[in-house]
Amino acid sequence: MDSPQNIKKRLKSVKNIKQITKAMELVSAVKMRKSQQIALDSRPYAFLALDLLATVSSLNQSSRWQFPELFKIRKINKVLFVLVSSDKGLAGAFNSSVFKKFEQHMQRDKEKYQSEEKFFVAVGEKSASYLSKKAVNIVKKFVQSGDHTTPTQVEPLADFIVEGYLEKKWDRVVIFSTHFRSALKQEPHVRRILPIDFNHIKETVQEIIPERGKFADLIKEHDISFVPKNSQAARKEYLIEPSPEKVLLKLAKHLFFMQIYHLILEANASEHSARRLAMKTASDNASDLASALNLQYNKSRQSAITKEIIEIIAGAEALS
């Protein structure tokens, strides 16, 4: 058995670790709530934008004008992959699950992608280091964006992707990020974000509300429907200024930005909840270890005392 002094030292350090992980757990819980709240606050905007897109695009029945470039599906020669991860570690399997999904995806579509040129964008320190280890073509890194992403922080990323797309640097953009299903369950997801697909955006908007937990009831409260309600006749009366084409072009950019913004927010919320869970496990383990060590310390102290008493008694008996 270790000496009581040594055990005491270990006990002390285990308790310190427990305090730190506990604090990190609480901080992550608050940050997760906050990220979720930000995502929820932008929902009315997202719904209205989608509604507008539905209205404007349904006006184009006779296809009098062309859809903007962002909607067009062109021949795919170059593909851009975006990996969204966190800046910091200690978040359990959060980052590795995104990378695993990425590897699986690349393995599965190996043949499909063979003829295509690949580009990569890293969001977050962890994916930057992962991609540079793989020695691939990283076009740009977006790191250190902080915890509570504001629209301004996402702007450079969205602008970069759209500009490259319009300049035909890539013909398709695929994003790997984490979908926040609930506080306990996050899943890595693969999404094609360019060219824009109405159904894909719809999916993203619907996913803003987590399936379970504090905000899950909101789905029932708001009767969400994406199918335009009014009849065709009513729609024709819309005045569109300056022209449907221009409105659609602007709208496409806004919607694309909104989609990126949501993906980042969701990844953010997932990161914090993954970290919270990891830290909870760590502090639970630390308290188990602490109680085991405490028992060991008491036993060794007790045995030391017993030994001393025996020595004293033996000494007294020898004298008498």
Partner 1 sequence: MKVSLYSLKKILFQGKARLLNCKTMAGEITVLDNHASLITVLTAGVIKIVEENPSANSGLKQHFYPIKSGFLEVRQGNEVRCIIEE
58 in contact with partner 1 (CB under 8 A): no
Return d(Cα 249, Cα 50) in angstroms, integer.
Answer: 14
Segment contacting partner 1 (CB under 8 A): 46-54, 125-133, 210-218, 279-287? 46-54
Q: Does 239 bind partner 1 (CB under 8 A)?
A: yes
Handedness of CA 280, 281, 285, 291 (dihedral sign): positive
Q: CA 219, CA 202: separation in Å to the nearest integer?
A: 14
What DSSP character marks residue 207?
T
Task: Give every CB contact of residue 100 below 8 A, 6+ residues apart in sequence.
Answer: 188
Backbone phi and psi for residue 302, each to the nearest 5 degrees, phi listed first: -60, -45
Least distance in angstroms from the C-beta of 48 to partner 1: 5
- Could you say whether residue 9 binds partner 1 (CB under 8 A)? no
Stretch that binds partner 1, among 16-24, 52-60, 114-122, 190-198 (CB under 8 A): 52-60
- Does position 246 interact with partner 1 (CB under 8 A)? The reply is yes
Number of neighbours of residue 2 by Cβ within 10 angstroms: 13
Of 24, 38, 122, 194, the one binding partner 1 (CB under 8 A) is: 38
Contact 83, 98 (CB under 8 A): yes
Residue 233: CB minimum distance to partner 1, A: 11
Identify which of residues 80 and 264 has a Cβ nearer to partner 1 in the complex. 264
Classify residue 69 by its DSSP letter. G
Q: Rule CB under 8 A: is residue 241 a binding residue for partner 1?
A: yes
Which of 2, 12, 238, 307 binds partner 1 (CB under 8 A)? It is: 238
Among 8, 17, 42, 136, contact with partner 1 (rule: CB under 8 A)? 42
Torsion of the alpha carbons at 247, 248, 254 and 255, rounded to the nearest 10: 150
Q: Using CB under 8 A, which residues numbered 252 to 291 contact partner 1?
A: 254, 258, 261
Site size for partner 1 (CB under 8 A): 28
Mapped onto helix, strand or coil, the DSSP state of residue 87 is coil
Is 184 a binding residue for partner 1 by CB under 8 A? The answer is no
- Give the angle subtended at the CA of 46 by the CAs of 196 and 60, to the nearest 5°: 50
Query: Quick one: which of 12, 19, 44, 212 contacts partner 1 (CB under 8 A)?
Result: 44
Backbone angles phi, psi at 278, to 5 degrees: -60, -40
- Which residues are near partner 1 by CB under 8 A? 38, 41-42, 44-45, 48-49, 51-52, 55-56, 150-151, 230, 234, 237-242, 246-247, 250-251, 254, 258, 261
